[in-house]
């Protein structure tokens, strides 16, 4: 009888151990699935690449289409005129005229591909208020001097505040200007600020108070340590501009936090297929 009791006791202990192992494996598996990073899709210059936006980059229509399609982010570019008007425009020149060296009146009659005037930042932000689920990826373009950039940073933050958008959940900043990134990090603590160039390592950016990297796709592809270094420092990561389906899949599988693309609809489809596999 004692021998049988001992045997039963041993079997119970074994079953308990096996059960604990199975439960732990199940919990670990579930945790892994829950914690798998989901890449946010950022529409590059808005969701412009569609009929509804009139194929107009950096247009208010492209911003609205990004919001209507519920993309996680909509990127746009900001330059400042000689009379301190902030314009949503990618290049530093319009029709051969320097934006920084000319007043807004020189550009007021210029039209985008869909017939819109070039948006001033205030009009753009007013439209953005309607789409709280789409984060604004605010690219401040480099300007000629640190002093001009300081003024552009100050005016940008004031404009965001006017429309109730000075909120880290509503906007993040990117720039090719290291100085502008440092200013934004200092004046907008708690906001994501990503540096666009690859001439400064993530570790040094972190020391400067800059919280993320937004790098060209070749930077990540050619240097495996770039993403590893940024992630080890708990920095945000973004890649531009990824328009090929095969490369989208590569970066989704890398676990990049944001993917910036001119084809956000295609990126969503690629990501959906990966998630369903």
Place 38 in a pLDDT band, splitting at 50, 70 and 90: confident
> What's the predicted TM-score (pTM) here?
0.87
pLDDT tens for residues 211-251?
999 999 999 999 999 999 999 999 999 999 999 999 999 99
Place of tokens 């699935």: 33
Q: What is the pLDDT of residue 10?
A: 52
Domain 37-276 indexed as CATH 3.40.50.2000:
no
Q: In angstroms, what CA-CA distances link 200 with 195, 208, 213, 222?
A: 9, 11, 10, 16
Q: Span 255-259, mean pLDDT?
A: 98
Name the percent of the chain lying above pLDDT 90: 85
Sequence spans of domains, the chain = 1-36, 37-276
Place 46 in a pLDDT band, splitting at 50, 70 and 90: very high
């Amino acid at each position: 009888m004692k021998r049988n009791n001992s045997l039963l006791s041993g079997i119970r202990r074994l079953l308990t151990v096996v059960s604990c192992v199975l439960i732990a494996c199940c919990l670990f598996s579930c945790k892994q699935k829950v914690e798998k990073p989901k890449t946010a899709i950022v529409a590059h210059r808005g969701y412009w690449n569609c009929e509804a936006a009139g194929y107009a980059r950096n247009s208010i229509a492209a911003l609205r289409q990004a919001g209507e399609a519920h993309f996680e982010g909509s990127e746009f570019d900001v330059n400042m005129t000689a009379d301190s008007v902030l314009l949503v425009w990618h290049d530093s020149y319009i029709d051969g005229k320097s934006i920084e060296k000319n007043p807004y009146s020189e550009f007021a009659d210029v039209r985008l591909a869909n017939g819109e005037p070039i948006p001033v930042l205030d009009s753009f932000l007013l439209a953005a208020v309607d789409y709280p689920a789409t984060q604004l990826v605010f690219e401040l373009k480099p300007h000629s001097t640190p002093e001009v950039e300081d003024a552009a940073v100050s005016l940008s933050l004031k404009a965001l505040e006017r429309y109730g958008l000075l909120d880290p959940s509503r906007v993040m900043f990117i720039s090719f200007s290291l100085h502008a990134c440092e200013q934004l990090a200092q004046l907008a603590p708690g906001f994501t600020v990503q540096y666009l160039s690859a001439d400064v390592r993530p570790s040094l950016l972190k020391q400067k108070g800059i919280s993320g990297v937004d790098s060209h796709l070749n930077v990540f592809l050619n240097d495996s340590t770039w993403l590893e270094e940024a992630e080890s420092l708990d920095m945000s990561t973004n890649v531009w501009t990824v328009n090929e389906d095969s490369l989208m899949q590569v970066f989704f599988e890398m676990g990049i936090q944001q993917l910036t693309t001119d084809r956000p609809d295609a990126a969503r489809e690629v990501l959906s297929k990966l998630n369903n596999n």
